[in-house]
Chain A
Amino acid sequence: MNIPADLKYTPSHEWVRVEADGTLTVGITHHAQDLLGDMVFIENPAAGRTLAKGEECAVVESVKAASDVYAPVAGEVIAANGEVESSPEAVNKDAYSAWMFKLKPANAGDVAELLDAAAYQKLVESEAH
């Protein structure tokens, strides 16, 4: 299973990288893209949008199905990755370099509530059956 140890995770299968300046980079996990299959459409939130924790803020669609992406913590969208919108298959190739959007968290401490790699792995295993 591809779950990098240096990232944080959500139960809804987003990965979160805490950058040096405290901002967060967000994408969907390798496991999520594996469940969905070939990606054909991605819609990111616009920069400047304020998100509540758990708010539906992006959509990923594979040939098979559409899936919502949720804000891992409350915050403001400071950037959206236009490249994954024009090449959604990048998420299938490498889910952890194909980031979707960047967030400035409302409270830096909220990041502590996210899952670490071990906890996320446990979650994925428990969902496997």
Chain B
Amino acid sequence: MLKHTPLNATHRELGAKMVDFGGWDMPVNYGSQIEEHHTVRSGCGLFDVSHMLPLDIKGANVRAFLRRLVANNVDKLQVSGKALYSCMLNEAGGVIDDLIIYFMDESWFRLVVNAGTAEKDLAWMEKMNADWGMGLTLTPRRDLAMIAIQGPDATRVLNEALPGVDQITANLKPFNAAAMGEMFIARTGYTGEDGFEVMVLAKSAPFFWKALMEAGGKPIGLGARDTLRLEAGMNLYGQDMDETTSPLESGLAWTVDLRTERDFIGRKALEASEVTKQLAGLLLLDKGVLRGHQKVHTKNGDGEITSGTFSPTMQQSIALARIPLGIAPGEEVEVEIRDKKLKAKVVKYPFVRNGKVLTA
């Protein structure tokens, strides 16, 4: 039996094509994935991301707990509402999940974790909570729905759908959030565009979604969510990194804080490990489409594509690939696609941000 978000009936009324997405019945598109992609780059798209799990951690020692639990440094969070992206590592330095941590006050942090890893994450956190004698309360918030409102027109759409909210959106900086009762408004997203991720009580979600559509927001499926995040150069858990890969070989070194003395899970393993690979951007020069798991031949040895797609913005195929160190942007590599070896160029990513192509 597939799990349903509070917006399931709404998607069906809108004629969405529904798919089994890691056990959740989710909209992959509402017509054309490419049109939905362009809508987010040029207007405003609405995503149901209620399959992801908000998780409240409350108690006296939350900050101390998170200092040990995650690879990024929660001491970067000093202003209420500030958000931090981090990996949660296992003892071997592999990635259990990537998540966002919102600091609300010293006794309340909110985490948002991936849908497919939510149960595993929660079990891991509860175990650490007990092992370290932290005495914290971890509350999964399945009573909330989460809607992402993304694109250059996102602020206008949200302000129009929810009169009065402009008091918040006008002052909300990127990667910050504000809570008002059970409504939680974060200026975050997974598209490379300006926008918000808004949590509301599940029972309010269909009404809120309709108000956002009335204001001009267009429904966007998970298909376009993937092409948007890949153009934006954002990792996808389970594809670009997992429990067997190091964040240092997944383009996530910037999220691992090794500068302070803080002892966090996985640190010893990371410091003892030898980094031999990097996550690089690829641009296909020949015709075709790059896909996950295709083999990449470089002058320093072989690598593998972790995520690949056709970029609707660039009208060309792009990918993230884990390849040996020492291959620099501008160099050419070969990708095995079926029985052919096609030319690709290593490039810096993100490929696209705020509607503009950054990579040529």
Contact = CB atoms under 8 A, between A and B. Distances in A.
Interface of A: 37-38, 40-41, 43, 59, 61, 63-64, 66, 92
What are the 5 closest A-B residue pairs judged by CB atoms, nearest first? Answer: A40-B310, A38-B34, A61-B289, A41-B289, A38-B33
A64 B288 contact: no
Interface of B is mostly: mixed
Interface residues of B, number: 16
B32 interface: yes
B32 A40 contact: no
B102 to A, nearest CB: 32
Given A61-B310, A63-B309, A63-B310, A37 B289 contact: no
Nearest to B223: A64
A66 B227 contact: no
12 contacts: A37-B33, A38-B33, A38-B34, A41-B288, A41-B310, A43-B288, A59-B338, A61-B310, A63-B227, A64-B223, A66-B289, A92-B32
Contacts of B33: 37-38, 63-64
A56 B33 CA distance: 27
A93 B249 CA distance: 42
A61 B288 contact: yes
Interface string B191-203: 0000000000000
A90 B33 CA distance: 15
A61 B289 CA distance: 7
A63 B223 contact: yes
Contacts of A40: 34, 289, 310
A67 to B, nearest CB: 11
B287 interface: yes
Nearest to B19: A64
A41 B287 contact: yes
A51 to B, nearest CB: 16
Contacts of B227: 63
A37 B30 CA distance: 11
A90 to B, nearest CB: 14
A81 B309 CA distance: 24
Contacts of A59: 338
A121 to B, nearest CB: 20
Given A37-B223, A61-B310, A64-B33, 13 more contacts: A37-B28, A37-B32, A37-B33, A38-B34, A40-B34, A41-B287, A41-B289, A43-B288, A59-B338, A61-B289, A63-B309, A66-B289, A92-B32
A37 B289 CA distance: 15
Contacts of B338: 59
A71 B317 CA distance: 27
Contacts of A66: 289, 291
Contacts of B189: none
Interface in B187-237: 223, 227
Contacts of B287: 41, 43
A79 B103 CA distance: 63
B121 to A, nearest CB: 28
Nearest to B34: A38
A5 B310 CA distance: 34
Nearest to A86: B287
Nearest to A65: B291
Contacts of B28: 37, 64
Nearest to A41: B289
B86 interface: no
Nearest to B36: A38
A59 B289 CA distance: 11
Nearest to A40: B310
Contacts of A63: 33-34, 223, 227, 309-310, 312
B176 interface: no
Interface string B17-50: 0000000000011001110000000000000000
Interface in B292-343: 309-310, 312, 317, 338
Contacts of A43: 287-288
Nearest to A61: B289
